[in-house]
Amino acid sequence: MDARDLLAKPDETLLEHLKKVVEEGRKIAHFLGLSPEMREKALLACLFHDLGKATESFQAKMRGERGRAYPHPLASLPFIIVTGNLSDPLSLAAAAAVLTHHSPLTKDLYREFKDKSADYVSEEILKGLLRELLDLIDEYQLGDHFPLYESLKLIRLYNKRSALLLEQNLRFGGETKTLRLVFKELPSQEYAAIKTVLMLADWLISSRKFSAEDLFLFEGGNKLKAYLSQKNWVLREFQRKISQLPEKRVWLRAPTGTGKTEALLLWAKDAERIIYLLPTQATANAMWKRLRDIYGEDKVGLAHGRAGYILRKEIEEEPLDFKLWVSVFAKPVVVATLDQYLLAHLQGRHWEIRRTLAQNSALIMDEIHSYDPYTLGLLKAALEKEFPYKLALASATLPEFLISLLGKGPMVEAEKNLWERKRHKIILHTDRLDNFIFEIVEEARKGIRFWSLSIQWPRPKKFISFYMDF
């Protein structure tokens, strides 16, 4: 066996997999607009994330043999740690991303392995693997003079017990800390961005059916215009006004049923990602169906506590894969309940991806008046910590305290005549409901939403039966 025979998956070599992940990571880093320094560290993480699969136990598992393999993220740590300076937060973030690309960074992560040695393949094979990686480092211009072979010395020094690296006391910023603690104290934004590139690239390649382009919305503005044109939609003044605003934070006050959603989407324009937040699962479900008609069924995801049930009913795609992509906001357009956004800032599952993608999205918060003070407090803190690419807050009811709390911006109001519209015709009567069936049907044909209440008693079932059939 040599380095080129090592397997990442039963039908894919390790070098093939690493090359594909780096290339996909390059595209994701570009779309996210990462700085050159962060891009370099993210791609190094992609390149080194699976080097820990070069163990006898993992290779045996790929050949179909039974047994538990040594954790490959932990076995990868000595290789990534030598690619940067331990005083550099971005280098540390890359190492932490590799270590945690299958598990969250907890206080006890891999602690049970501190006395267990990794069963690396021979040093000769590892050297061959590192030589191959040096060529990729040059190809992607990831820096010069990496002391990659120092990783082999590090492995020998710790007797192949990679977990001991996490417990080693080191000097950081004038203090003595373990590497584990240093990882926990890393700047969350940089760490999250690097880990996002790594995890999404790895998932994309492993899926074998998605690519980086599937995570972003291209020509979303044109798709919206085509949809409105098909519907013969004539823009109202408030819709035209908000679509022309350049500000990154805007407010919209408009009554329900006047085109508030279309106005918000016009404001989002050609954003590469849109996250549309609503207060309830029912409203999110309805909005998900609407936006699929505009942007395409494969471009719009749904994220809330019971989204899996809806997805199983509505889509042909494998629901578990679909739910995973949506739960981390990886679809170009995601409709979600607010809690899904807040969980990213409370370090819920896959918080790194949610936060990074949300920060690069046009964030729309509809019915913003609906939340209680505690939820609004969490939202305020989240927005202050990491503001999205752009933000729109909308409702028919916008009290002044809400605007002061969440940040001032241009206020767009629907035209006065739209507030005076009557959307419902209400009639109270004491006669039998049966006597009004033809009148109700005729009004419904005119497009009027008609609710009829019969106070006749004790036969309410007639009303219920009629309403269901109607």
**133-190: pLDDT as tens digits:** 999 999 998 887 678 889 999 999 999 999 999 998 888 778 899 999 999 999 999 9
Q: What residue spans in the chain does CATH classification 3.40.50.300 cover?
A: 216-419
Q: Is the dihedral of CA 146, 148, 149, 154 positive or negative?
A: positive
Average pLDDT on 282-301 reads: 94
Report pLDDT digits (tens) over 74-129. Answer: 999 999 999 988 889 999 999 999 999 999 999 899 999 999 999 999 999 999 99
Per the prediction, the chain carries an average pLDDT of 89
Q: Is the domain 3-210 a CATH 1.10.3210.30 member?
A: yes
Rounded to an integer, what is the distance from CA 38 to the centroid of its chain? Answer: 19
Q: In what order do the strands lie in the sheet with 274-278?
A: 300-303, 333-337, 274-278, 362-365, 390-395, 249-253, 411-413
Report d(CA 454, CA 217) in Å as an integer: 49
Q: What residue spans in the chain does CATH classification 1.10.3210.30 cover?
A: 3-210
Report pLDDT digits (tens) over 411-447. Answer: 999 999 988 876 666 667 667 767 777 777 777 776 6
pLDDT of 453 reads 52
* Statement: residue 465 has pLDDT above 50: no
Looking up tokens 């939403």 gives 449
Looking up tokens 């408009």 gives 254
- Residue 452 contacts residue 464 (beta carbons within 8 Å): no
DSSP E strands, 179-270:
249-253
- Nearest by Cα to 273 from 220, 350, 318, 340: 220
Report d(CA 390, CA 269) in Å as an integer: 11
Q: Is the peptide bond before 78 cis (omega within 30 degrees of 0)?
A: no
Confidence of residue 355 (pLDDT cuts 50, 70, 90): very high
pLDDT of 469 reads 40
List of residues 6+ apart from 299 with CB closer than 8 A = 217, 292, 331, 332, 333
Q: How far apart are the first and last CA of the chain?
A: 72
DSSP H or E stretch at residue 428: strand 424-429
Q: The whole model's pTM is what?
A: 0.87
Average pLDDT on 343-369 reads: 94
Average pLDDT on 254-258 reads: 92
Give the CA count within 13 Å in the CB-facing half-sphere of 111: 10
Q: Which CATH class is domain 216-419?
A: alpha beta
- Residue 297 contacts residue 322 (beta carbons within 8 Å): no
- Nearest by Cα to 280 from 302, 309, 304: 304
- Nearest by Cα to 121 from 133, 130, 134: 130
pLDDT of 458 reads 52
pLDDT of 48 reads 97
DSSP H or E stretch at residue 411: strand 411-413
